[in-house]
Amino acid sequence: MKALLAPFRTTTGLARWLLVTGLVLVALFVVLAVFAPWIAPYGFAQSSVDGVKFTKLDPPGPGHPFGTNDLFYDVLSRVIWGAQTALLVVLLSVLLSALIGVPLGLLSGYVGGWTDRVLVLIMDALYAFPSLLLAIVFSFLLKNVLPSGVVAAALSLTVIYIPQYFRVVRNTAVSAREATYVEAARALGAPNSVIMGRYLFSNVIQSVPVIGTLNAADAISTLAALGFLGLGIQPQDAAEWGFDLSRALDDAASGIWWTGFFPGMAIVLLVTGLTLVGEGLNETVNPTLRKRRFATVTLPPRPAPSDLSETQNALAITASDNSAEGGGK
């Protein structure tokens, strides 16, 4: 709980405001995603109600607050259901990539030698490659293999993010491997699995949420990009914002703005929210980025010359409090 509140305690003023804004935005979309069946007025692939077909490309009005699109679907409903698709895919891919990347990084950093070299080479190559192209290649391949568009999209995104966890975790593991406490554990006869699982893991795990949040933001845009290029999820499988935007491109020329504007804004808001949360976390985890907050020091009433050492103690305590906060990476 204390760790959860850390971002709030250590940030001040605008930094905290940005973090809270981000959290509110993300929470909004989580609510939309979880309660989509109750919030959305229609299904994501519903083009008629009680046998009456919706008007095609109906402008926003009483029946359809966001209008309808060229497939006769209700735009508001697609935006709401789209939140579910986006968060599901992103959650899957971020969890999977952390589940693969973190153990690989630990192994590579701790074992070293040839395992390390080969893994680093592969991961660096994957990392250097344009991530969108990587996702395009994978979804191009997986689309024919997997029946579910959601799983295929999630797996294509997973591949992009594995190297990021791997790199951070490996580098931390390499430096932690030589630490005294790890040496002590080894001297006490702890098997490698315990050293990796307990000592190294708890050391590297702190940076994972930050990478995860920032990756989630990136994954939302990449998923939309795949959808936009026609490689993502098909409209009958699930509502996907990127796909809707690609259809909307044709409408734009004729002045129809609502089919593209709302799904686009949904992407912008969700990615902005996730980025703000990720940056807020980053600033708390990374002390070099943080602005030092000066603690107010209340001096005790002017002491007699003999009590001077006590004042110094009091000052030293405040100072160590500050450094503890700064070092609490």
Q: Which residues bind other proteins (CB under 8 A)?
A: 13-15, 18, 121-122, 124-133, 136-138, 140-141, 144-145, 167-168, 207, 210-211, 214, 217-218, 221, 224-225, 228-231, 242, 245-246, 248-249, 252-253, 255, 257, 260-261, 264, 267-268, 271-272, 275-276, 279, 282, 285-286, 288-289, 291
Closer residue to other proteins, CB minimum distance, 20 or 126: 126
Which residue from 36, 72, 53 is spatially nearest to 247, judged by alpha carbons? 72
DSSP state for residue 124 in the 8-state scheme: H
- Cα(315)–Cα(262) distance, rounded to whole angstroms? 55
Residue that has been written with the tokens 């799983």 in this structure:
151
Closer residue to other proteins, CB minimum distance, 81 or 243: 243
Which residues lie closer than 8 Å to 180 by C-beta, 6 or more apart?
Answer: none
Closer residue to other proteins, CB minimum distance, 72 or 257: 257
Which residue from 32, 91, 108 is spatially nearest to 262, judged by alpha carbons? 32
Closer residue to other proteins, CB minimum distance, 72 or 127: 127
Collapsing DSSP states into helix, strand and coil, what is residue 48? strand
CB of 38 to other proteins, least distance (A): 28
Residue 95 tokens read as 């969890």
CB of 57 to other proteins, least distance (A): 15
CB of 167 to other proteins, least distance (A): 7
Collapsing DSSP states into helix, strand and coil, what is residue 290? coil
Which residues lie closer than 8 Å to 288 by C-beta, 6 or more apart?
Answer: none
Closer residue to other proteins, CB minimum distance, 101 or 264: 264
CB of 60 to other proteins, least distance (A): 15
CB of 40 to other proteins, least distance (A): 22
